[in-house]
Amino acid sequence: MTSQHRSGLPPSAVAPPLTISSRDLARLEALLDSPALSRHPAAIALSGELARANVLPPEQIPEGVVTMHSRVDCEDELNGERHSLTLVYPHEADVERGRVSVLAPVGSALLGLSVGQSIDWQAPGGRPLRLRVSAIHYQPEAAGDLHR
């Protein structure tokens, strides 16, 4: 599969399609409505991503799309580093266990990407990264876990 690139945060004109479930959208919008997050740069960036998303009912989400609570393998194509992580809500984040918040730059970047797609973004400190989703080992929608 040919890699498609989506610029980091904020989204660029070359952004590939972003697909999210209506359940994830509702939960993320509720999270972003928090007064504590109203001016947070990560929340603003995530809002921009959600605004351009193709929203589907959970049971219609394709298996190869990163959704909330998906367990994925990805690789930084610029330095060859490989990562296995689970995309979670901020209160569930635990870096030691590979649980990355959707409000972290990599979390916002991964949401809605499909296997084979890449995203460019800036790591803390300005280091450029290019993350490619290489596999999805668990996706709640594909597993029939529609209430997770």
- The tens place of each residue's pLDDT in the chain, 148 residues long, gives 334 444 443 334 456 678 999 999 999 999 999 888 877 888 888 888 899 899 999 999 999 999 999 999 999 899 898 999 999 999 999 989 999 999 987 888 889 999 999 888 767 677 788 889 999 999 999 998 876 6
Q: Does domain 5-138 have CATH number 3.10.50.40?
A: no
The burial class, CB within 10 Å (0-12 / 13-18 / 19+), for 80 is exposed
Q: What is the pTM of this model?
A: 0.84
Amino acid at 146: L
- Taking 3-state DSSP, the helix, strand and coil percentages for the chain, each rounded to the nearest 5, stand at 25, 30, 45
Q: Domain residues of the chain, as ranges? A: 5-138
Q: Quote the CA–CA distance of 143 and 6 in Å, as a whole number.
A: 27
pLDDT of amino acid 18:
83
- pLDDT recorded at residue 91: 93
